[in-house]
Amino acid sequence: MKIAVLASGRGSNLESLLQAETENRLGGAEIGLVFSDQPLALALERGRAHGKKTACLSPKDFDSKQAYEKALVLLLNKEKIDLVVLAGYMRITGEGLLSAYGGRMINIHPSLLPSFPGLDAQAQAVSHGVKISGCTVHLVDAGMDTGPIIAQRAVPVYAEDTEAELSARILLEEHKLLPQVVSWIARGKVLLAKEAVRFVDEKSL
C-alpha cells in the first residue's frame, strides 16, 4: 500500500511515520509522497532527509480551491497513492479531494472527538476543565473532524496544565497512534469505505 502524507508545518507526525516505516512497523505500507501546501514547511525537509519524494503546491498560485485540489488529485493519482494521511494538514478538504479519495483518507486530531473539533482543540480542553483528553484518527468526510472514528488514545488533563503542556502530552500519543492505524489499514485489519469503518478481528489489533 502506497501512502501520501500531507502536512503544513513541522511534520512531527510525519516523522513518526517515517521512523515506523524504517522499523517495519507500518504493516508493509510505503510512504510514496510527502506533500505540503507550504513551501517552507519543515515536513518537506523531513521527507527529503529520508529520501522520500516531496512536492508542494501553494494555494496562492491557483485561482480557486477547486483548481488547487484538482492539481493535488492529479499529483496523487500520478504517484498511484492508495491512502492519504492528513498529518497536520491545515486546510479543510474540499469536494475535489473528497470525491477522489473519499474512503481512502484519514486525519489525526488532538482531541477525543467528537469533543473539541477544529482549531485549538488543546486550548479548548484546558479552558473547559476536562479531566481526560487525547487524540483521534478518523476517516475524513465533508465535515470538520466529523468522520467515522478509527482509533483514539487518552491522556490525563491536570488542573495546572497549560495548553503547551497538554499539547506535548497528546503529541506523544499521536506519534504512537497514527503509525498503528496505518499498519492496521495496510494489513487489512481495518477496512475503509466512503462513510464507514469496519474492523476485522478487532481482538487481534
Residue 19 lies in a domain: yes
β 196-199/83-86 pair status: unpaired
With 70 as the cut, is the pLDDT of residue 204 above it?
A: no
107 assigned to some structural domain: yes
User: 201 — alpha (psi -120 to 50), left (phi > 0) or beta?
Assistant: left
- Residue 91 falls within a domain, yes or no? yes
pLDDT beyond 60 at 205? no
Q: What average pLDDT does the structure give for the chain?
A: 96
- pLDDT band per the 50, 70, 90 thresholds, residue 190: very high
Q: What is the CATH number of the domain that holds 50?
A: 3.40.50.170
User: Is 56 part of a structural domain of the chain?
Assistant: yes
Domain residue limits at 20? 2-193
Residue 203 has pLDDT above 70, yes or no: no
| Residue 205 resides in a domain | no
* 201 pLDDT more than 80: no
Structural domain contains residue 124: yes
pLDDT in tens, 21-80: 999 999 999 999 999 999 999 999 999 999 999 999 999 999 999 999 999 999 999 999
In a domain, 183, yes or no: yes
Total structural domains within the chain: 1
**Cα 26 to Cα 161: distance, rounded to the nearest angstrom:** 33
Q: Which residues are catalytic?
A: 109
The string of pLDDT tens digits covering residues 5-22 is: 999 999 999 999 999 999
pTM: 0.94
Note the pLDDT tens digit of each residue in 72-103: 999 999 999 999 999 999 999 999 999 999 99
H or E stretch including 152?
strand 149-156
Burial of 128: CB neighbours in 10 Å, binned 0-12, 13-18, 19+: exposed
**Domain for residue 201, yes or no?**
no
